[in-house]
Structure 1
Amino acid sequence: MTTSSTAVAAGAGSDRPAENDGAGHRTAPPATGRARFDWLWAAVLTFAAACAGSGTPNLWRDELASWNAAVRSTGDLVEMLGNVDAVSGLYYLLLHGWISVFGDSPTMLRMPSALAMAGAAAFVVLTARTVFDRRTAVFAGLLFALLPSVTRYGQEARSYAFVVFAVTAATWLLLRALKRPSPARWAPYAVAVAAAGLFHIVSLLFLLPHALIVLMRWRQDRRGRTLVGYALTVAVALLPVVPLVLLGQRQVGRQISWIKTPHLRSIAEVWDALFGSPLIALAIAAFALLPLAWSRGRRPAVELALVGAAPIAAAWVVSQGSTSYFMDRYLLFTMPAWVVLAAAGLAALRPRPVGVAGLAAVILLGLPDQRQIRTETVKSGREGEEAAAVIAKGYRPGDGFVPVRGADTVYMTDFQVEYSLPDRVELRDVFARRTAVQSDDLFPVECEQPEQCLGTTRRVWVVTWSGTPNPYHKLPEAQARALEKHYKVVQKTKVRSLQVTLVERVR
């Protein structure tokens, strides 16, 4: 088994010789014939893989938060963003418009992410074709489309697929602009940078390797207008992001204070999670190192390695402070760069069938994880759905609702149940002094004196944790006392880890 040391410089796998850009840098020749549409089949394949089985896993709590925010009116949603989750605001607004047209079934909620991952796949192929060759582009398209993590986040109702899309587009647009800098080429790069920041602030760490790439190019060609053009473009792109950064800083303590300060071993854990499989992560690392070892054409490999590695290193360093941002899904946008590098390593293996066999082996390693992603309990169990079915069966107009919240609010048991309730079931959250919409928040404001909030509610459905005969297990003490004083238990149903109890007023 050997690698071609000139695969980058000579455009291995293409039918035409490599070309030079205006500064003397060697680049892959422009795509011709069917090669021009490689990005399209990669996008379609990625979309199909992400959509397959996307309606099976139940929504988990982060996705339920997306749903809860997106189903509000536009005005209510904007008011909420002033208090919480502003960093997800653009995604929530996009999802709000999508739901108004296509509904809020699990498949429809997740489809925008599948489309975003498909867009990312297109730019993965374009990037591979730009800096390497068509063979690498084909390998990169296949590898990206069939990675477990791409499927995982391509069927999740969160913003991470959009971040991957925006950053991958920005990387290709930067490389394109550096060939022949002009306002017409810097403008779309500015849009991609702004979109990445608006979809997730942490993704702006990709500007560090991009700036390093620009400086490296400048050291070779001394084109001052490239530096000036890049700096001005980034400054303009960040203008709409600055207000979000300021607002996000006010909300950060509430939203991500639970993330722990990372240790060195955390880097290995994040690396495994980036690809959705420890075995695939190891294989990607091995093949991605091959282009860096080439004696010729090493520059594009180094640039892509910077795009993949620098944000991870920067996030780790920044997270040693008072707030940690070191989470695998926050750094998912680094994954495409590693995919392109690994594809280049595989494409350069000789004889060529060895590279094809290596690609097939990596994809096959991910099959167990691909199957697991599509199981019904991979994100959340069916407890909320089954609890909602129990309530719907015995529902009477005017019934109340008491979900376990308090210290366990983070599990969003109320969202799990409410999402699965049919439209005809309208429960009154009896211990909510102000609803989540009224309080411009994700969660309601609960009564300080629960007994006073019960009113004349005749029947109440209590949903809390099972595993104990106590129907009010884990409810705040004042709420449990109020229910015990005025209600008797008439029905108790265990639903997996939840317990649904119907209580009826006695006095």
Structure 2
Amino acid sequence: MKTAAPTRPQTGGSRASEGLTARAGRLPARFDPLWAVLLTFAVTCTRIGTAQPWRDELASWRAADRSTGELVDMLQNVDAVSGAYYLLLQAWISVFGDSPAMLRMPSALAMAGAAGFVVLTARRLFDRRTAVFAGVLFALAPAVSKYGQEARSYALVVLAATAATWLLLRALERPTVLRWLPYAVAVTASGLFHMISLLFLVPHGVIVLGRWWGTRFWRLPVSYAVTVVAALLPLTPLVLLGQRQVARQLGWVPVPHLRDLGGLWVGLIASPLVSLALFAAAALPLAWPRGRRQAVELGLVAVVPIPLAWIVSQGSSSYFIDRYLLFTLPAWVILAAAGLGALRPRRIGVAGLVLLVALGAADQRQLRTEHAKGGTDGKRVAAVIAEQYKPGDGLVMGSSRVYMVDLMVEYYLPERAKLKDVFAERSAVANDDLFPVECSRPVQCLEGTRRVWVVTSSGTQNPYNQLPPDREKALKDHYKPVATTVVGDLQVTLVERAH
């Protein structure tokens, strides 16, 4: 006898939903994902190009600015796990340019797309009122603006992971090949953009087992297992290559302690006040009998990846960074929306929604300031250099290359100003890396360069502050300072050959 496929539970929230919808403008339910997409896109695009790029964004720019062949060569040595994003960004900037706004636009578009799946998931698990609340909360969450305005892959991971959750719920209703196939695509995409996001497969598997336990519909776990294997197979080469690079890429991340769980939560939401309120609201559905099972399922998606990442990070490599777990945010938002939507009288839920949004207002403003991503003012440093630039000028940075201040200056320099990296023996492109090969003989590397711009930390009279002793000596012996300009935490010194 053929067993019927499991169906979605009826939540019975139509009356509350219709009342909320009437007040929201009587839009048909099918438009809910669309307005959430448009609202999120409008919010993330607001002053998207204001903040100066920080080092991770500059790494994205430097990688994507290469030819495809040069980029592929680089990925053999470093950042293979970011390769899919770099290739996408490379194609994007070839059409739209590399201004700060355009570098970040793929992330804004991805967050907007994720908003649509947030609404669809909330409506499938709960009701339309929850979906409306979730759309608003997601669009106005500080973390959505923060990473929707960042030239990194995190927003695309949020999109892929949120789509995967909705596609799973859809496949559980009728587990056919045509429904499992898009789920597999979403899983593969999530892994391509950030491997740690695949932790969501664990709670997804638990949800599948829970549905199977209630129906004994064996086709369900078997289909899920086959789909996951098929989705992970294309990622195998990337996993093997990434494992060879993991020590270099994540060696700086410390092994987390238990206390780091609290700090991660605040960073995940990108607002201390909103994080507390959102957590409180997200716990409410557990006390709501009509939505308790749905809340538990979604709670698994929200909660389980966090301790899993903590446990995995106790090994040789740590992955416990808030932005790496950003893909759990949509589930937290939907849980909070369900909690607020269940409050009675209804105006209490609306008041809670308004309060949550208002708590993040100050963080939203701060995220859109020029130095939101760091205090270094590379734009002004570049302006100082460009004003007195002469062809053949060289550049020396006092800080470590990992801070990418040199790239920040280069990013803002006009096309006519091409500075020679005098202490780079071989360029980053020639080295198939993000960083060049450092000069081992400073005096010889300075030959042929009449003027050098030295950029070091401010607050000292030494224009060669932070430079290695051999480089400082080479500059002191052969150059004399001509002019120094202090730019925030940096000082820019022009030195010329003494003889």
TM-score, scaled relative to structure 1: 0.93
SS of 2:414's equivalent in the other structure is coil
Structure 2: which amino acid aligns with 1:426? K
CA offset at residue 222 of structure 1?
1.2
Of 396, 419, 431, the residue aligned with 2:423 is 431
Aligned position for 2:12:
11
The question of whether the paired residues in 2 share the 8 Å contact of 1:489 and 1:501 is answered with yes
Measure, in 2, the Cα distance between the counterparts of 1:296 and 1:106.
Answer: 46
CA offset at residue 353 of structure 1?
1.0
1:82-93 residue pairs with structure 2 within 5 A?
Answer: 82-93=76-87
Aligned position for 1:506:
498
Structure 1: which amino acid aligns with 2:330? P
CA offset at residue 155 of structure 1?
0.5
1:151-300 residue pairs with structure 2 within 5 A?
Answer: 151-300=145-294
Aligned position for 1:372:
366
Aligned position for 1:359:
353
Aligned position for 1:336:
330
CA offset at residue 287 of structure 1?
1.4
Aligned position for 1:404:
398
Question: How big is each residue's C-alpha offset from its partner over 1:291-317, in whole Å with a ceiling of 9 and x where there is no partner?
Answer: 112334422111100000010010011
SS of 1:424's equivalent in the other structure is coil
SS of 1:239's equivalent in the other structure is helix
Out of 493-502 and 305-314, give the one that drifted further.
493-502
CA offset at residue 173 of structure 1?
0.2
Aligned-residue Cα RMSD (Å) equals 1.5
Question: How big is each residue's C-alpha offset from its partner over 1:9-47, in whole Å with a ceiling of 9 and x where there is no partner?
Answer: 533245899xxxxxxxxxxxxxx9710110010011001
The question of whether the paired residues in 2 share the 8 Å contact of 1:400 and 1:461 is answered with yes
Aligned position for 1:103:
97
Of 458, 474, 477, the residue aligned with 1:466 is 458
Aligned position for 2:3:
none
Is 1:419 equivalent to 2:411 in the alignment? yes
Question: How many equivalent residue pairs?
Answer: 484
Distance 1:103 1:14, change over 3 A: farther
Of 476, 481, 486, the residue aligned with 1:494 is 486
Measure, in 1, the Cα distance between the counterparts of 2:203 and 2:74.
Answer: 34
Runs of 4+ that moved beyond 6 A: none
SS of 1:488's equivalent in the other structure is strand
The question of whether the paired residues in 1 share the 8 Å contact of 2:264 and 2:321 is answered with yes
CA offset at residue 262 of structure 1?
1.3
SS of 2:259's equivalent in the other structure is helix
Question: How big is each residue's C-alpha offset from its partner over 1:169-210, in whole Å with a ceiling of 9 and x where there is no partner?
Answer: 000000000100001000100010000000001101000100
CA offset at residue 112 of structure 1?
0.7
SS of 2:396's equivalent in the other structure is strand
CA offset at residue 134 of structure 1?
0.5
Out of 279-288 and 173-182, give the one that drifted further.
279-288
CA offset at residue 231 of structure 1?
0.8
Question: Which segments of 5 or more consecutive residues in structure 1 lack a partner in the other structure?
Answer: 1-7, 18-31
Measure, in 2, the Cα distance between the counterparts of 1:481 and 1:120.
Answer: 54
CA offset at residue 368 of structure 1?
0.8
Aligned position for 2:296:
302
The question of whether the paired residues in 2 share the 8 Å contact of 1:149 and 1:275 is answered with yes
SS of 1:48's equivalent in the other structure is helix
SS of 1:499's equivalent in the other structure is strand
CA offset at residue 142 of structure 1?
0.3
The question of whether the paired residues in 1 share the 8 Å contact of 2:17 and 2:128 is answered with no
CA offset at residue 377 of structure 1?
1.1
Measure, in 2, the Cα distance between the counterparts of 1:402 and 1:283.
Answer: 47
Distance 1:268 1:89, change over 3 A: same
Measure, in 2, the Cα distance between the counterparts of 1:95 and 1:253.
Answer: 25
Question: Which segments of 5 or more consecutive residues in structure 2 lack a partner in the other structure?
Answer: 1-8, 19-25
Measure, in 1, the Cα distance between the counterparts of 2:372 and 2:417.
Answer: 28
Measure, in 1, the Cα distance between the counterparts of 2:48 and 2:197.
Answer: 26
Measure, in 2, the Cα distance between the counterparts of 1:436 and 1:404.
Answer: 18
Measure, in 2, the Cα distance between the counterparts of 1:13 and 1:148.
Answer: 30
Aligned position for 1:59:
53
SS of 2:234's equivalent in the other structure is coil
CA offset at residue 383 of structure 1?
2.0
SS of 1:241's equivalent in the other structure is helix
SS of 2:28's equivalent in the other structure is helix
Aligned position for 2:41:
47
Structure 1: which amino acid aligns with 2:424? A
Q: Percent identity?
A: 65
Aligned position for 1:480:
472
CA offset at residue 380 of structure 1?
2.4
SS of 1:10's equivalent in the other structure is coil
Measure, in 2, the Cα distance between the counterparts of 1:105 and 1:114.
Answer: 14
Measure, in 2, the Cα distance between the counterparts of 1:295 and 1:145.
Answer: 28
SS of 1:191's equivalent in the other structure is helix
The question of whether the paired residues in 2 share the 8 Å contact of 1:402 and 1:462 is answered with yes
Aligned position for 1:443:
435
Measure, in 2, the Cα distance between the counterparts of 1:10 and 1:374.
Answer: 40
Out of 421-430 and 380-389, give the one that drifted further.
380-389
Aligned position for 2:23:
none
Measure, in 2, the Cα distance between the counterparts of 1:450 and 1:484.
Answer: 12
Out of 137-146 and 218-227, give the one that drifted further.
218-227
Measure, in 1, the Cα distance between the counterparts of 2:316 and 2:183.
Answer: 32
The question of whether the paired residues in 2 share the 8 Å contact of 1:153 and 1:160 is answered with yes
Measure, in 1, the Cα distance between the counterparts of 2:379 and 2:16.
Answer: 56
SS of 1:240's equivalent in the other structure is helix
Measure, in 2, the Cα distance between the counterparts of 1:247 and 1:427.
Answer: 34
Is 1:393 equivalent to 2:394 in the alignment? no
Distance 1:67 1:327, change over 3 A: same
Measure, in 1, the Cα distance between the counterparts of 2:311 and 2:204.
Answer: 18
Question: How big is each residue's C-alpha offset from its partner over 1:421-473, in whole Å with a ceiling of 9 and x where there is no partner?
Answer: 00001111111110000001111111111111112111111111111111111
Measure, in 2, the Cα distance between the counterparts of 1:420 and 1:470.
Answer: 26
The question of whether the paired residues in 2 share the 8 Å contact of 1:143 and 1:339 is answered with yes
